[in-house]
Chain A
Amino acid sequence: MTLQQQIRGNRWRTGLLFILFGVLIAMVLGAASFAVDLPLLIVIGVGMIVYGVVTWYASGTMVAALAGAHPVGRDSYPELWQAVEAAAIGAGLPSTPAVYVINDPAPNAFAAGRNPKHAYVAATTGLLAVMNPRELRAVMAHEIAHVRNRDVRTMALAAVLVGVLLIVSDILLRVTLFGGGRDSNPFAIIGLIVALILAPIGAMMMQMALSRRREYQADATAAEITGDAEGMAMALAVLDADKRQIHHVARATAHLYIESPLVKGRGLFGNLGGLFQTHPALDLRIAALEEAGGFMLNREAATAGLPPEALMSPSDRGE
């Protein structure tokens, strides 16, 4: 699939996403209209539209604040800037995005912003410590690929809409359970409660599914931008081997990172966990790159430079 088709596909999916969320919200509001007074519904609806618009325009700043990322100058991080600039020019972006850094020993990175002009990329200090220049270029190219493929916009929209839906269902659930409804039909109330619980779960699964496909595409685009598929695979191998978890992370921003920042689910929902993962397994992503690039990654060589504390799982460190 060429890049233009991918961008067009993303536009189309963004539109579809918007419509699906609209339908979900309308269904929730419609179901609620049996139990909640109309004026209250209108107030909630208008409030949510205002909330959605505000968070859309503030999304970039909000994500940076949630992640603990701060903008840095070229002089303090010349290598990172160089990698971002090379990737941005290689991707044909209209301008080089701003560069942010997160003070965290776990290696990770993300891109955010509602369009290429307002986009920025963020890297943790841990990423800068464990990656060699070639791998760093690959990771930055991956983030720039998210910007160029308009993934950041779709993801920002998805995050805003999921947020709106979560709040609407939450408010309505409370009103239905504790407020005096007009309708005392118990079946209608139970149906409504089920709908209010299921809608946000469906929305979140949609968000996760959107994100997983994009990671493969961004890996491929990054390999195209840098002309170095192996460098991308090496960087992923390092991310896979490094067991440290990023500290500042909000569930709502998990889908933005290059590697899933969340501890993988175990126990009761272990097998269903795949549906709620924001990222495909790194093994699968490395395999896809190997197939496309026609090489076999030497994982031991790629991860030889990692410090010993990176290889310990969180439980070994007593966290």
Chain B
Amino acid sequence: MIWIIVVLAVVIILLAVWLVALYNRLIRLRVEVQTGWANIDVQLRRRYDLIPNLIEAVKGYVAHEKGVLEAVTEARTGAMSARGPAQTGTANGALASALGGLFVVAENYPDLKASSNFLQLQTELANVEEILAASRRYYNSTVGRYNATQVTVPTIFVARFGDFGPAEFFEEEDQAVRSAPQVSFDQ
């Protein structure tokens, strides 16, 4: 009789330890997702901070291309007010394509292209983009792991007992690709 109780107690304790370990795995993944997002956020802030300087540096040269500059400023405001990874990603995609438009315009101004201030800002922006790309890869792979863990056995059994839920991916959607002209062959 005593043996049955002992065996039962051991089994229950092992089960509890196992469930706690599963729960901890989800918590750990959630923390990794949050850290990944914090990394992205730092780079996005660096990008937002560089843009006013960039516009300041460009303004004097391309005074009559106001539309391009306004588009960048607007896209920046939109990106800064976006909430959550998915929305922020879309807004930053718009910002990236507005910036792309600015750099295309800059090609037409040799003085601007030769300005050391502009070159430096361009390099800094490229550095931010590179680290942003790295943090995005890490974040998205972590989100993928986190989301998959919540819906697979055995972690699915403990996922409902905590504040979990699918995390959003962060993708900077390229507006230029999206708005690519439709090619038509009927004529």
Seen from chain A, the residues whose Cβ lies within 8 Å of a Cβ on chain B are 4, 82, 85-87, 89-92, 94, 225-227
Q: How far is the CA of A225 from the CA of B138 in the complex (A)?
A: 8
Query: Contact between A89 and B35 (Cβ–Cβ < 8 Å)?
Result: no
Query: Contact between B127 and A92 (Cβ–Cβ < 8 Å)?
Result: no
Seen from chain B, the residues whose Cβ lies within 8 Å of a Cβ on chain A are 32, 35-36, 39, 127, 130-131, 133-135, 137-138, 142, 145
Main secondary structure of the interface of A (DSSP, over half): helix
Main secondary structure of the interface of B (DSSP, over half): helix
Expressed in whole angstroms, the minimum distance between the Cβ of A12 and any Cβ of chain B is 16
Contact check: which of A82, A89, A94 meets B138 at CB < 8 Å? A89
Query: Contact between A90 and B127 (Cβ–Cβ < 8 Å)?
Result: no
Chain A residue nearest in CB terms to B39: A89
Contact check: which of A4, A82, A90 meets B137 at CB < 8 Å? A90
> What are 26 A-to-B residue pairs whose CB atoms are below 8 Å?
A82-B127, A82-B130, A82-B131, A86-B130, A86-B131, A86-B133, A86-B134, A89-B131, A89-B135, A89-B138, A90-B134, A90-B135, A90-B137, A91-B138, A92-B32, A92-B35, A92-B36, A92-B138, A92-B142, A94-B35, A225-B134, A225-B137, A225-B138, A226-B134, A227-B133, A227-B137
Most buried by A among B32, B130, B134, B142: B134
Most buried by B among A90, A226, A227: A90
Q: How far is the CA of A82 from the CA of B114 in the complex (A)?
A: 24
Query: Contact between A85 and B131 (Cβ–Cβ < 8 Å)?
Result: yes
Chain A residue nearest in CB terms to B123: A78
Expressed in whole angstroms, the minimum distance between the Cβ of A75 and any Cβ of chain B is 14
Chain A residue nearest in CB terms to B141: A224
Q: Collect the chain B residues with CB atoms within 8 Å of residue A82's CB.
A: 127, 130-131
Q: Collect the chain B residues with CB atoms within 8 Å of residue A4's CB.
A: 145
Add 9 more A-B contacts to A86-B133, A89-B39, A92-B142 (CB < 8 A).
A4-B145, A82-B127, A82-B131, A85-B131, A86-B134, A89-B134, A90-B137, A225-B134, A226-B134
Expressed in whole angstroms, the minimum distance between the Cβ of A245 and any Cβ of chain B is 32
The 6 closest A-B pairs by CB, nearest first: A90-B134, A86-B134, A92-B138, A89-B135, A86-B131, A89-B134
Expressed in whole angstroms, the minimum distance between the Cβ of A206 and any Cβ of chain B is 31
Q: How far is the CA of A94 from the CA of B31 in the complex (A)?
A: 12
